[in-house]
Structure 1
Amino acid sequence: MTVAQQQPQLVFGGVDSLIILAMYALMMILVGWLAGRGRDIGKSVTDYYLAGRGLGMVTLFFTLYATQYSGNTVVGYAPQAFREGFSWLQSIPFFTLIIAVYLLFAPRLYVVGRRRGFITPTDWISDRFRSTAVTVLAIILMLWGLANYLLEQLVAIGHAVSGLTGGAIPYGWAVIGFIIVMLTYEWMGGMKAVAVTDALQGIMLMIGIAVMLVGALILTGGGIENLTANIAANEPEKIGVPDMATNINWLSMLVIVAFGAAMYPHAIQRIYSSQSERVLKRSLGRMAWMPFITSGLVFIVGIICIDLYPGLDVGASEQLVGLLANDVASLHPVFYWTMILFFGAIVGAIVSTADSVLLSFSSMVSHDIFGKYIKPDADDRTKVLVGKFAGIVMIALLLWVAWNPPGTLYQIFVLKFEILVQVAPAFILGLYWKRLSAKPVFVGMLAGAALAATLTLTGNSTVYGIHGGAIGLALNFLICVVGSLIFRPSEETQRDIEEMTRLEKVAG
């Protein structure tokens, strides 16, 4: 779900919104300048892509938060709750399970990555399996996921800015303008600039969601205690118990989202960027509460809107957040300015998600493809420059796609998680099971991705309610386990793997 759908004309759109967006843009550029001031970050891939492995607890927490929750979460999840009713409670365990998967592998991966100097997610793949075929396939699957995710954010930026300014800034100019802003501060400050802007946007998002909820409660006229009774009387299907098919579909989606989102390359690089293992664990521990504060509050907003705006069809419900923001902004000048800041924060959050994805994409092209296979003797400065150039090329290609979308673009979006999730066994099994061998991992990833792609692109995205990606993941795990039991690695290789994945503490 994206903010690609146009929002209604906002009462706070116009000059005030232009001023706020300009302030956000200048703030991002200032952050980039401050992050890179006095440091030639272009000399070191570790500095540029991982902030020198020095992200503290507060910054790491908020950059993880911004990675997990974008502006799309606010704008897309409230309409979904409006349409589905209480069954959309599943949006809370979506995000909770992502944290559970992080905790399953992130601390262990941090220790190994810090000791062995990992920069990108596929450094683990390359080091663990020592197979060019496995590494290249993992790079392809991860770059596919990143490219799709970045395309969604670029489209969302254009529509969000255009909607917020009442069309004063057209879609195309909005995309190009904020791309220039994003590239400017990212090039000046690297990961550190990205993480700090993530923190600022995350704080504004949380405040805005809370204020919007307060405004929605005021609009109910104090009748919140009658909310469920009104829904039961007027739209009982939105308060009923889900049927078995819906429950199966839920469970399948939970698997896809939990494992898929945890495999985002920009999320894994934040694991590497942590100042210490303790900082990482504390940040993830606090992240466990955020689904209730973010998607939980957004869910409640959507449920309240069932009573506030009854009878909206699917198309109209996509404009729900804009409708509610208009009414909340009309309550009082404080709400008016808060909604301006909130919608500006939504734009900023989408930009901060896009910059994280672009930075990760650039790092994989420069470090994994150029640095490992094209010019292994390249110095760090050259790799950073190649990454910046690759980012420009990728954005140009994605802008062309956004302006000329193919007929199957929606299916390509759907494939993002189904494809990306197939790298999960290589991380989770690989970190804990020394007998996992390269050939079964390659066959499992390839078979899982091929099965998921075939089901989705042939219009059979679910089988008995189970998503193609979940079926592919199950096949992937099965091939990895059975194949490794049959074709077990040598004793020497197992000893090397055991040495590699030991949990001895590292400095820092």
Structure 2
Amino acid sequence: MNELTFAGPTGIVILIAYAVVMLVIGWFAGRGQAGAAKTNKGYYLSGGGLGFVALLFTLYATQYSGNAIVGYAPSAYRSGFVWWQSVPFMIAVIAAYLVFAPRLYVIAKKRGFVTPTDWIHHRFGSTKLAVLVAVLMLWGLANYLLEQLVAMGHGIAGLTGNTVPYQVGVIAFVLVMLVYSWTGGMRAVALTDVMQGIALLVGIGVLLFGALYLVGGDLAGVTRYVAETDPAKAGVPTGEDSVNWLSMVLLVGLGASVYPHAIQRIYAARSERTLKRSLAIMAWMPLATTGVVFVVGIVGIQLFPGLSEDDSEQLVGMIANEVAGLNIVFYLMMILLFGGVVAAIVSTADSALLSFSSIISKDVYGRYLGRGAPEEKQVRVGKVAGVAAIAVLLLIAWNPPGTLVSIFVLKFELIVQLVPVFMLGLYWQRMAAGPAFWGMLAGALTAGGLTVADLGPFYGVPGGLVGLALNVAICVVGSLLLAPPEVSRTSHGEAASAVER
């Protein structure tokens, strides 16, 4: 292969430039926000006043993490056309948002929610259920952060041809992330999301155009090449693969919609109209992002045949550098993509870190360990806890435990168990706290046990959905056997009347 275009000083200069931009944004976001940044709502939700553009791009950054670019193209390269499932499961996330987000927003705005467990306390009035929800959320967020740290290292190493080693890239941009998120909170995160979203959308569009140019602009020819050289990647999926496809659509669509940081973005919207407008635009993003990345991965089969699993993890960087070598215009666009990929990973990581800190700050310390402590101290404790969590995760990321997609799927097994309390809880008056707790616990233990025991999917159905089925069954049957608690009737009525208005 030719010498990498971004190897050497060029790649380092680009990384430094993007780091400086993110730091400047963080400083700008924190300027004049000293008072607001000392409250949970001000620091973690930007005061609940995110407008259309900021909300759209911060939702975009939440849904399209480092995996969407760095991990999904290699998955398409290794799996072939069956990886088209990445597009419908991203569409399913928006569909799931629309099921509960507008209704939850109305209650959250009225009641001043900051963390997702505020809804649990309000709706169910159960401490043990809220604690279980917080534990599962912290697990999911830690896993999500680990995924982003691994993606950060692979992305930087691949895009610089290992001029910046995996470990060095991770540490450098973690420090950048900690500085600007500590300074500006949600406001800084949202503003950096706008920058990386624009860079990413433009960059991947040019990447696709350049990749097709490298293979003669003949996408049909790429398909024929794949069919001739590796028929399994272009063949009709087996029955088990088809079931797995539908299962992934459900698992990811439901699971990603109840990410803690996704729910907090619902809370942070300036108005219900702003939230709905943002979600309407987000419905088209799977085609513009994961659809484009899927095609790039398929084209990569012809451009770089025979890559090992480890080598394929750096496929995006390899293609980007080949495209950058075409002419000055492609070179400049790949600089945009280069920085956009790194910024996208960092912006997604900072969203998860902010949510992780908020749960420690308000739900763990504010409610239990430091009850009665002023909000300024709660925010400070959350910040320190976030730094400590990053330190532990860096030790794990130093020698990553698997490919990006393996890490990606793992967290959904448990986080999807939160779906009943947010979706059924909003619409079903009779759902009770006790069955919700035991259903969630049984579902989490089942899903976690199947994953740890490496028993694998049941004819394509992952353990997370098996656990969710058990979870829902216990919730429904148990609630039907009990009289509906008063808190359920109150919350349901409040939500219903708000929607009617």
TM-score of the aligned structures, taking structure 2 as reference length: 0.95
* Contact 1:441–1:479, Cα closer than 8 Å, also in 2: yes
Structure 2 distance, partners of 1:224, 1:104, is: 37
Query: For residues 440-463 of structure 1, what are the alpha-carbon distances to aligned partners after superposition, in whole Å with 9 as ceiling and x for unaligned?
Result: 000000000000011111111311
Partner of 1:253: 248
Alignment of 1:147-162 (within 5 A): 147-162=142-157
Q: Which amino acid aligns with 1:399?
A: L
Query: For residues 413-447 of structure 1, what are the alpha-carbon distances to aligned partners after superposition, in whole Å with 9 as ceiling and x for unaligned?
Result: 64311001101100000000110000000000000
* Contact 1:114–1:506, Cα closer than 8 Å, also in 2: no
Query: For residues 6-39 of structure 1, what are the alpha-carbon distances to aligned partners after superposition, in whole Å with 9 as ceiling and x for unaligned?
Result: x997322221221111111111111111112112
Does residue 223 of structure 1 match 2:218?
yes
Query: For residues 278-317 of structure 1, what are the alpha-carbon distances to aligned partners after superposition, in whole Å with 9 as ceiling and x for unaligned?
Result: 0000100110000000011111112222333334443443
Query: For residues 367-408 of structure 1, what are the alpha-carbon distances to aligned partners after superposition, in whole Å with 9 as ceiling and x for unaligned?
Result: 011111122312221111111111111112212233366799
Structure 2 distance, partners of 1:340, 1:93, is: 29
Does residue 47 of structure 1 match 2:47?
no
| Aligned with residue 169 of structure 2, among 148, 160, 174 | 174
* Contact 2:143–2:407, Cα closer than 8 Å, also in 1: yes
Alignment of 1:483-498 (within 5 A): 483-490=478-485, 492-498=486-492
Aligned length: 500
* Contact 2:425–2:431, Cα closer than 8 Å, also in 1: yes
Distance change >3 Å, CA 8–CA 319, structure 1 → 2: farther
| Aligned with residue 144 of structure 1, among 139, 143, 163 | 139
* Contact 1:122–1:138, Cα closer than 8 Å, also in 2: yes
Partner of 1:25: 19
* Contact 1:50–1:119, Cα closer than 8 Å, also in 2: yes
Deviation at 1:333, TM superposition (A): 1.7
| Aligned with residue 447 of structure 1, among 442, 466, 485 | 442
Structure 1 distance, partners of 2:426, 2:277, is: 21
Does residue 35 of structure 1 match 2:29?
yes
| Aligned partner of residue 154 in structure 1, secondary structure | helix
Alignment of 1:77-476 (within 5 A): 77-403=72-398, 414-476=409-471
| Aligned partner of residue 19 in structure 1, secondary structure | helix
* Contact 1:411–1:456, Cα closer than 8 Å, also in 2: no
Structure 1 distance, partners of 2:500, 2:59, is: 22
Partner of 1:63: 58
Distance change >3 Å, CA 266–CA 407, structure 1 → 2: closer
Distance change >3 Å, CA 140–CA 290, structure 1 → 2: same
Query: For residues 332-385 of structure 1, what are the alpha-carbon distances to aligned partners after superposition, in whole Å with 9 as ceiling and x for unaligned?
Result: 122123222212211111111110010000000000111111223122211111
Structure 2 distance, partners of 1:358, 1:8, is: 38
Query: For residues 456-490 of structure 1, what are the alpha-carbon distances to aligned partners after superposition, in whole Å with 9 as ceiling and x for unaligned?
Result: 11111311221000000011111101100002324
Structure 2 distance, partners of 1:345, 1:412, is: 22
Structure 2 distance, partners of 1:303, 1:49, is: 39
Distance change >3 Å, CA 91–CA 27, structure 1 → 2: same
| Aligned with residue 16 of structure 1, among 10, 17, 20 | 10
Deviation at 1:164, TM superposition (A): 3.3
Q: What fraction of aligned residue pairs are identical, expressed as a percent? A: 57
TM-score of the aligned structures, taking structure 1 as reference length: 0.93
Deviation at 1:269, TM superposition (A): 0.4
Distance change >3 Å, CA 33–CA 408, structure 1 → 2: closer
Q: CA RMSD in A?
A: 2.3
Distance change >3 Å, CA 164–CA 227, structure 1 → 2: closer
Worse-superposed segment, 458-467 or 108-117 = 458-467
Structure 2 distance, partners of 1:206, 1:130, is: 43
Worse-superposed segment, 172-181 or 240-249 = 172-181
Worse-superposed segment, 264-273 or 294-303 = 294-303
Structure 1 distance, partners of 2:404, 2:76, is: 25
Query: For residues 63-105 of structure 1, what are the alpha-carbon distances to aligned partners after superposition, in whole Å with 9 as ceiling and x for unaligned?
Result: 1011111232112111222222222211110100000000000
Q: Which sections of structure 2, spanning at least 5 residues, go unmatched?
A: none
Does residue 480 of structure 1 match 2:475?
yes
